[in-house]
Chain A
């Protein structure tokens, strides 16, 4: 099956049931997967920083670098391609931190907080949350089945995003 790699600060949307979206090495970054099981369209984003205000120029060139601008972009595009909010399944992974969670480097926590606020404001719920700790994660989304996997330090966990409510 063809892997489609989502690079850091990038996102991808697919409606091809053979595709597997994958993003590697989520540390403090957050990876968000949004999937509509009815139409089998899914998106994945890999954001490295919480808020675009830290570098407006960069946010113009690479909106997916930041959780705020990136989520907005991906959601808009998903809605345009026929995804409905009422059917969305959402999985989130990443947001890890180094050993001594120094305030300056709480990027993971800040990423996750901003993400939660955005979802909350849009009344969207997280179905799967695999966040925090001091591990780096690789995530995959199988577009055909809605299967979502998180791999870290050699162990892989499978989640089947609920098909229908």
Chain B
């Protein structure tokens, strides 16, 4: 069986999102959702309830004063944030395992993903982009494909790391495995019926210029990703072997000091969220 076939097989067999979060995410998409109804759905799961409360009380999600009741937490976060928080809680356990093919220790993928989620939002804020839909989640889920590809990367490690190669690592994945982690992640997420902004971001995060839609999400996540690798956050064997799109940051008008400022803001926020999600 070719690697491509094996990858497709693995995507198919990969566990689905928990059914409960699917229903919850659907009701969150309804703009007229009733908070009481939401509260009932979440309360049903004590683990989820306590996690939502913890995140609602985090500095990152803008807590002022302690919130003890789920109802208040939901009101304070608003439906959009609740969606992002619930998705993060549901998906982060999948990102805890080490990925030995990529040379990532346990939690490295989660740490990198949280970095990208936070740094994307910080970039957007700094550059005056408001209301970039699903940016946090798009950042958080951009590398899910690495979980799919990891066993095959492990088998082809020597090929993928040949000294003379100058292609970026996602292109090497296509050359030696038949599919990049970006594409694998996008396919997985679309099987999960995750909103399109997020799926598209996963797919184009190493090639933002080719993205047909959602340029803000794709560009921010691309830059946040490269910045994370630069700073060694969850950078395994592939970390420094990517290219930054010259178009992405010109489009945003970024300066060196902007990039460094975002990096300085992101580290502590990442640490906070990572510890809340593990």
Contacts and interface: CB of A to CB of B under 8 A. Distances in A.
Contacts of B240: 27, 96-99, 133-136
B166 interface: yes
Interface residues of A, number: 37
Contacts, number: 107
B73 interface: no
Contact of A54 (B103, B243, B260, B268): B260
Contacts of B260: 49-50, 54-55, 107
Contact of B249 (A49, A98, A104): A104
Interface stretch (B11-19, B142-150, B225-233): B225-233
Contact of A98 (B226, B233, B257): B226
A89 to B, nearest CB: 24
A149 interface: no
A9 B241 contact: no
B232 A65 contact: no
A100 B244 contact: yes
A9 B267 contact: yes
Contacts of B246: 100, 102
A54 B231 contact: no
Nearest to A153: B237
A21 interface: no
A153 to B, nearest CB: 6
Interface string B235-264: 111011111101001000011110111011
A66 to B, nearest CB: 8
B235 A136 contact: yes
A103 B258 CA distance: 13
A28 B264 contact: no
Contacts of B257: 54
Given A25-B235, A55-B264, A104-B249, A153 B161 contact: yes
A20 interface: no
Given A99-B241, A104-B256, A107-B260, A27 B265 contact: no
Contacts of B241: 98-99, 134
A49 to B, nearest CB: 5
B230 A108 contact: yes
B278 interface: no
A58 interface: yes
Contacts of A24: 105, 232
Which of A9, A49, A98 neighbours the largest number of chain B CB atoms within 10 Å of its CB?
A98
A105 interface: yes
Contacts of A58: 264-265
Contacts of B233: 8, 25
B231 A105 contact: no
A29 interface: yes
Q: Looking at B166, B259, B260, which has the most chain A CB atoms within 10 Å of its CB?
A: B260
B262 to A, nearest CB: 10
Interface in A49-86: 49-50, 54-55, 58, 61-62, 65
Interface in B87-115: 103, 105
A104 B166 CA distance: 20
A55 B261 CA distance: 6
Contacts of B256: 103-104, 106, 110
B261 A27 contact: no
A103 B260 CA distance: 13
Interface of B: 103, 105, 161, 166, 168, 226-227, 229-237, 239-244, 246, 249, 254-257, 259-261, 263-265, 267-268
30 contacts: A8-B233, A27-B229, A27-B235, A48-B231, A48-B232, A50-B260, A54-B261, A54-B264, A55-B260, A62-B267, A94-B232, A98-B226, A98-B229, A98-B240, A99-B168, A99-B243, A100-B243, A100-B244, A102-B246, A104-B249, A104-B255, A104-B259, A105-B227, A107-B231, A107-B259, A134-B241, A136-B240, A153-B103, A153-B161, A153-B237
